[in-house]
Amino acid sequence: MTEFVDTAAEAVARVQDGSTVLLGGFGNAGQPMELIDALLESGTTGLTVVSNNAGQGDRGLALLIKERRVRKVICSFPRQSDSWHFDEAYRAGDIELELVPQGNLAERLRAAGAGIGAFFTPTGYGTTLAEGKETREIDGRHYVLEHPIRGDVALIKAHTADDAGNLLYRKTARNFGPVMATAAAHTVVQVQQRVPVGSIDPEHVVTPGIYVDTVTALGADPARPEGQPENHPQEAKHA
């Protein structure tokens, strides 16, 4: 059952020193900035973070890395033009990196959520990223065996949650959210708005409430003033 809490600080209380945290977002889109800020405040450290990137600029995950709260990153694309905090931590030997092709990252998270023990993927076969991994030829194609990635806690961002915890996302900010929600023992979501049960058409639910443990509604996002309603999901307009 989904619990609703008033503050991001309460929402991230489940994260402990040494936790594996699945962190939504592709770049800044879909990254749960307010939950990460609360995590910074909380002082939690020694984290393993699973995320597509390793932080951009001076926001979100980049700050967690700057503050040396992250022991290890499992991601596909750490190095970017503005990933200076990761770059510095990595060159200083302060952070461990497991590099995973993006599709394998997504599929390994899905496998964790779907109870799949391991799967054969063609991605990465014959490359250094598959070194040491089991391979197999199936019907003339070569595959690498990959295993699930499970999280203790997932921190993700969605747009709307109803009282049953059903989630709607917004545009390409959806990215890893729905998959990570299934892959963690406890899923925490920051949303812009909470709506009553019945406000979301059951045909449109992207993440069913069964995957959602804790929600905090932040209200209006300063980056998305109310003057842009046409960019919001349909249900949001009706609510």
Partner 1 sequence: MSTENSTSTLSREDLARLVAADIAPGSYVNLGIGQPTKVSDHLRADQQVTLHTENGMLGMGPEAHGEDIDEELINAGKIPVTERPGASYFHQADSFAIMRGGHLDVCVLGAFQVSAAGDLANWSTGAPDAIPAVGGAMDLAIGAKQVFVMMSLFAKDGTPKIVADCTYPLTGLACVSRVYTDHGVFLVDHGEDGPSVTLREAHGMSPHEVADRLDFPLTLPAENG
Contacts with a copy of itself, residue ranges (CB under 8 A): 107, 111, 114-122, 136, 138-139, 141, 143, 147, 168-171, 201-204, 206, 233-234
The interface mask with partner 1, positions 27-46, x = CB under 8 A, is xxxx----------------
- Should residue 85 be labelled a site residue for partner 1 when binding is judged by CB under 8 A? no
Q: In the complex, what is the shortest distance from the CB of residue 177 to partner 1, in angstroms, rounded to a whole number?
A: 7
Among partner 1, a copy of itself, none, what binds residue 138 when CB lies within 5 to 8 Å by partner kind?
Answer: a copy of itself
Q: In the complex, what is the shortest distance from the CB of residue 69 to partner 1, in angstroms, rounded to a whole number?
A: 20
Beta carbons of 193 and 239 less than 8 angstroms apart: yes
Interface residue with partner 1, options 15, 26, 63, 70 (CB under 8 A): 26
Angle, CA of 181, 1 and 153, to the nearest 5°: 35
**For residues 191-210, which are near partner 1 according to CB under 8 A?**
197-198, 202-203, 205-206, 208-210
Read off the tokens for 179.
């998959």
Q: Beta strand pairing status for 20-23 and 151-157?
A: parallel
> Distance between CA atoms of 30 and 179, rounded to whole angstroms?
13
> Distance between CA atoms of 172 and 131, rounded to whole angstroms?
32
What secondary structure does DSSP assign to 129-156, as a single string?
Answer: GGTTS-EEEETTEEEEEE----EEEEEE
Q: In the complex, what is the shortest distance from the CB of residue 42 to partner 1, in angstroms, rounded to a whole number?
A: 26
Among partner 1, a copy of itself, none, what binds residue 106 when CB lies within 5 to 8 Å by partner kind?
Answer: partner 1
- Should residue 190 be labelled a site residue for partner 1 when binding is judged by CB under 8 A? no
- Should residue 132 be labelled a site residue for partner 1 when binding is judged by CB under 8 A? no
Beta carbons of 239 and 201 less than 8 angstroms apart: no
**Cα 1 vs. chain centroid, distance in angstroms?**
20
